[in-house]
Amino acid sequence: MRPDDTEPVLDIWLNASLQAHDFIDEAFWHQQRDAMRASYLPMADVWVGTYQEVILGFYALHGNTLAAIFVDPAHQGAGVGSQLLDHAKLQKPTIDLTVYQKNTASYAFYLRHGFVVDREQTDPHTGEREWRMVYSGS
């Protein structure tokens, strides 16, 4: 990710979050935008997926944690997320992540890509139940 990519990445993150997490108040996501810009994105290794110089999606790795993977809603279902996740797997042999239990589409996506549930927990920011999932390429 280049500095000029920040705003398009934040737009994708917000729009995809609102769509995928309709069980969480929209205001929560809008309130997190500045923290994403100032803290979360700078402390992660962020990769973007592009087509003809248009950013279609991105992922962020923080250590071995897949902290974020989002695809522009207009481009979902076209394999962009799979390509991003395959690229992330090349960066780290073991990856962990959390996914809201109510986000059944993403949960199924991670299962298809070889992730397994490690434990159940509660997100301290939203109070929503989530799965911690792990991928081990070995």
In this structure, which long-range contacts are made by residues 111-114, counting pairs with CB atoms below 8 Å and at least 24 apart in sequence? 113/82, 113/85
Instruction: Quote the longest CA-to-CA distance of the chain.
Output: 41
137 — pLDDT class (breaks 50, 70, 90): confident
Instruction: Give the pLDDT confidence of 17-65 residue by residue, as tens digits.
Output: 999 999 999 999 999 999 999 999 999 999 999 999 999 999 999 999 9
pLDDT in tens, 78-106: 999 999 999 999 999 999 999 999 999 99
Q: Is residue 3 helix, strand or coil?
A: helix
Residue of higher predicted confidence among 137 and 110: 110
Strand pairing category for 129-136 and 65-71: unpaired
Of 129, 79, 82, 72, nearest to 110 by C-alpha is 82
Q: Is residue 138 over pLDDT 90?
A: no
Cβ–Cβ under 8 Å, residues 84 and 59: yes
| Span 102-129, average pLDDT | 96
Predicted pLDDT of residue 95: 98
d(CA 55, CA 50): 4
